[in-house]
């Protein structure tokens, strides 16, 4: 297993946005999660959905929609863990 940060994003209060990342081996199982990095005070809350699309016979693209559930801007890291 290995982990990393794929991107950093910021969402205004109540907003949502979609990111994508491509070129992942289709034979791997990748888990995506969002880690708030600001604000450091309060309780930033994010929700996300992940969709996978087969790009070629051996590669896939992940589409990640992230929603800010709070009334303040939130900066976060889009992180991954490759399980196999």
| Alpha-carbon gap, residue 60 to 37, rounded angstroms | 28
For the chain, the domains span 2-82
Residue 43's pLDDT is what?
75
Say whether pTM exceeds 0.75. yes
Q: Which residue has the tokens 């996978």?
A: 52
DSSP string, 1-43: -EEEEEEEEEE-TT-EEEEEEEEEETTS-EEEEEEEEE-SSS-
Q: Strands across the sheet with 2-11, in order?
A: 2-11, 74-82, 30-38
Question: Does residue 57 register a pLDDT over 70?
Answer: yes
Q: What is the mean pLDDT of the chain?
A: 93
For residue 74, the surrounding DSSP H or E stretch is: strand 74-82
């Amino acid at each position: 297993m290995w982990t990393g940060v794929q991107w950093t994003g910021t969402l205004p209060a109540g907003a949502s946005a979609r990111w994508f990342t491509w070129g992942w081996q289709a034979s791997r199982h990748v888990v995506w999660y969002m880690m708030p990095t600001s604000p450091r005070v309060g309780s930033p809350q994010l929700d996300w959905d992940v969709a996978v699309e087969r790009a070629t016979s051996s590669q896939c693209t992940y589409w990640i929609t992230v929603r800010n559930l709070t009334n303040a801007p939130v900066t976060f890291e889009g992180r991954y863990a490759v399980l196999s």
